[in-house]
Amino acid sequence: MTEQLTIPPAAAPVQITEPGPYEGMPEADYHGDPVPGGSLSSTGTRKLLPPSCPAKFRYWLDHEQAPKTVFEEGSAAHKLVLGVGPKLELVDKARWDTNEVKAKLAEIRARGDIPLKKPQYDMVHAMAEALRSDPIAGPLLDPARGVSELSLFWRDHSVWGRARLDRLTWIGQRGRPVIVDYKTCASAAPAKVEKAISDRGYHIQGAHYTAGARALLLGGEDLGFLLVMQEKEPPYLVTVVEPDSTAMRMGAIRVRQAFDLYAECQASDRWPGYADDVVLAELPPWETRELKGEVW
């Protein structure tokens, strides 16, 4: 149902000066932030806020992150599930610490592709097959339906926001617009997923995505947000989760706080740490219970 959107193709080289949804933008261009002066992503939103702080956000922004195997596995799974993304290249070598293999890995990563060991390669293909056969998740992430890897750029007062949606699709007879985010995980058990939403701020991510989509008039008030969580161990179980209204409301509050803080930090070029003054530290209640009843 992509005919419900009119999406301009991303130009190359990419530089975003006009708000809008952009389909086909290379992942490296998006993550490199093509907005002159910078924009706030959902990851940045979470890094600005407690338990992190603006100083950590600024350091993360200024220092390129080395590739991690767990991230590459997730990106590889995304590629197979969503049908778009970097090329997966099997590097079937017993050791990856030789100079020859290190050079090969650097070459693959330099062109934006993902190197995988044989066990990883087999795992992500098995995960994609399991997901495609899931009666709920399969249709949500069907490459033939909706729009995959859609990049959004919008203005929020004096600053820019950006988001990259795994999938924007439409479900049900009425064609309800839904943002779908696919994540790999150790456990897709509902109780574990609820904890992951809280610990990793997935509700903030969802609120960030929906704020961008609504700013660009993609979906309106009926816009939904779903998480597709898939385990990385056989049989690669899948759970589809919708954060409830309370979670999304709290996420929206955090997103508003993050954009206001980002605007303040950008305007002042000051990125503070955890506190601006001496912090008074209190012991937990169980450490002070023997003081009950004492008179000072």
| Residue of 256 and 70 predicted with greater confidence | 256
Q: What is the pTM of this model?
A: 0.85
Instruction: Look up residue 184 and give its two tokens.
Output: 């790999």
The arithmetic mean of pLDDT across residues 44-56, rounded, is 96
State the pLDDT at residue 295.
52
Shortest CA distance to 140 belongs to which of 66, 53, 214, 228?
228
Residues 165-185 pLDDT 10s: 999 998 876 778 999 999 999
Residue 9 has pLDDT above 70, yes or no: no
Cα angle 232, 236, 238 (rounded to 5 degrees) comes to: 105
Residue 111 has pLDDT above 60, yes or no: yes
Residue 44 has pLDDT above 90, yes or no: yes
Specify which residues 244 forms β-bridges with: none
Range of lowest pLDDT (53-57, 76-80, 264-268)? 76-80
| Residue of 210 and 93 predicted with greater confidence | 210
Domain definitions of the chain by residue range: 2-67+134-266
DSSP code for 234 = T
How far out from the chain centre does Cα 25 lie?
A: 16
| Answer CATH for 2-67+134-266 from 2.60.120.370, 3.10.105.10, 3.90.320.10, 3.40.50.300 | 3.90.320.10
pLDDT interval class at 281 (50, 70, 90)? very high
Provide the greatest CA pair distance for the chain: 74
Contact 52, 43 (CB under 8 A): no
Residue 197 has pLDDT above 90, yes or no: yes
Range of lowest pLDDT (90-94, 149-153, 222-226)? 90-94
Residue 286 has a CB neighbour count (10 Å cut-off) of: 7
H helices present in 40-136, as ranges: 42-48, 54-62, 69-82, 99-110, 118-132
Q: Which amino acid would we find at residue 165?
A: L
Residue 157 has a CB neighbour count (10 Å cut-off) of: 7
> Average model confidence (pLDDT) for the chain?
88
Contact 241, 226 (CB under 8 A): yes
State the pLDDT at residue 169.
93
Distance (Å, rounded) from C-alpha 182 to C-alpha 228?
5
Inter-CA distances, 161 with 175, 196, 290, Å: 27, 24, 51
What count of residues does the chain have?
296
State the pLDDT at residue 3.
44
Contacts of 92 (CB under 8 A, 6+ apart): 117, 118
Top mean-pLDDT range of 1-10, 18-27, 192-201: 192-201
Instruction: Look up residue 218 and give its two tokens.
Output: 């993609």
By three-state DSSP, how is residue 156 classified? strand
| Residue of 262 and 173 predicted with greater confidence | 262
Specify which residues 230 forms β-bridges with: 184, 238
Distance (Å, rounded) from C-alpha 2 to C-alpha 108?
32
Residue 141 has pLDDT above 90, yes or no: no
Residues 199-231 pLDDT 10s: 999 999 999 999 999 999 887 778 999 999 999
Kindly state the helix (H) or strand (E) to which residue 264 belongs, with its residue range.
helix 245-268
By three-state DSSP, how is residue 260 classified? helix
